[in-house]
Amino acid sequence: MEYFSITSFTRGISRIDLIGILVGHFVFAIALTQLLDWSWLNNLMSEEDKIKMLKSYTWKDLLVDGAIITVVIGIIFLIVSIFL
């Protein structure tokens, strides 16, 4: 039943609507990032822990991070392709 409601929704939305939704989310994300106080992130780890973590970071970790980013971008493109 949910599948049919999703397909009927995608038939009623145009590309202009989709672009507007994506741009609106992007603008909201930038505004929210500017409004929130992110200074608490500096206090999560001590400088010694940061240096130790960066020294132990290898090319395998870089590949895993790249794969995660690729999967997330792929999922976003899949969702966008449903609407187009």
Domain count, the chain: 2
Query: Is 51 found in the same domain as 29?
Result: no
> Are the C-beta atoms of 83 and 13 separated by less than 8 Å?
yes
49 in the same domain as 32 = no
Tokens 């992110």, residue? 38
Q: What is the pLDDT of residue 66?
A: 94
Q: What is the pLDDT of residue 77?
A: 87
**Residue 19 belongs to what domain range?**
1-36
HSE-CB at 83 with a 13 A cutoff on CA atoms is 16
**Among 3, 12, 71, which residue's Cα sits nearest to residue 21?**
12
49's tokens? 């822990």
Distance CA 45, CA 51 (A): 10
Give pLDDT tens digits along the chain (84 positions): 455 555 565 566 777 877 888 899 999 988 888 888 878 777 888 888 888 888 888 889 999 999 999 999 999 888 888 776
Residues 56 and 22 in one domain: no
Residues 32 and 61 in one domain: no
Q: What global pTM score does this model have?
A: 0.45
